[in-house]
Copies of this chain bind each other. A is one copy, B any other.
Amino acid sequence: MEPSKKSEQFIAADAGLRRFLGYRLKRAYNTLRSDMLVRLEPLGLRITTFSALLLIVHNPGLRQSALASALDIKTSNMVAIIDDLESRGWIKRKPVPTDRRALALFATAVGKSTCKKAEALAFENEETLLNNLTDAELNTLSTLLEKIESSAEKL
């Protein structure tokens, strides 16, 4: 099939950047990201709030600091995310008896059902945008991405 003129021009212009895997990673991520934003918007979720909600649902009692660390988000930036989820009635902060500094996070029933819907949207997102790839390719990709992440632990 003939590539469109737009594609040709596109490829010519950024060829110098396509040598870099970081550039390709960013563009591939943005492909998934922009579609995901559109899907989540009607639920009142963004990618960060969805990620936080999902981890709270899957890890009841998770502390804010542990959540921040898992998502690689500063605790100072976590506050607004938790505020958002709590103000929508999806999660609750509860004091931890054994450590009065800490707050444990629990999803409400509505939060759990919202999360379930969002997870379904996330699967749709990937089914739609990754349907070019076989299951074997997806597994390979996962493994290679994990390798990149783990290579940073040495730094």
Contact = CB atoms under 8 A, between A and B. Distances in A.
Given A13-B66, A141-B21, A151 B130 contact: yes
Interface in A10-43: 10, 12-17, 20-33, 35-36
A74 to B, nearest CB: 13
Given A29-B26, A72-B30, A17 B148 contact: no
Interface centre among A23, A62, A144, A146 (most CB of B within 10 A): A144
23 contacts: A12-B59, A13-B59, A13-B70, A14-B55, A15-B58, A16-B59, A20-B122, A21-B138, A21-B142, A21-B145, A22-B32, A22-B33, A24-B141, A24-B149, A25-B28, A25-B145, A26-B33, A31-B149, A130-B148, A132-B150, A132-B151, A137-B144, A144-B144
Given A137-B144, A149-B31, A126 B22 contact: yes
Interface string A39-76: 00000000000010011011100100011011110000
Given A13-B55, A24-B142, A35-B155, 12 more contacts: A9-B66, A10-B70, A13-B66, A15-B58, A16-B57, A17-B51, A17-B55, A20-B126, A22-B125, A24-B145, A28-B149, A31-B152
Secondary structure at chain A's binding surface: helix, strand, loop or mixed?
helix
Contacts of A22: 29, 32-33, 36, 122, 125-126
A80 to B, nearest CB: 19
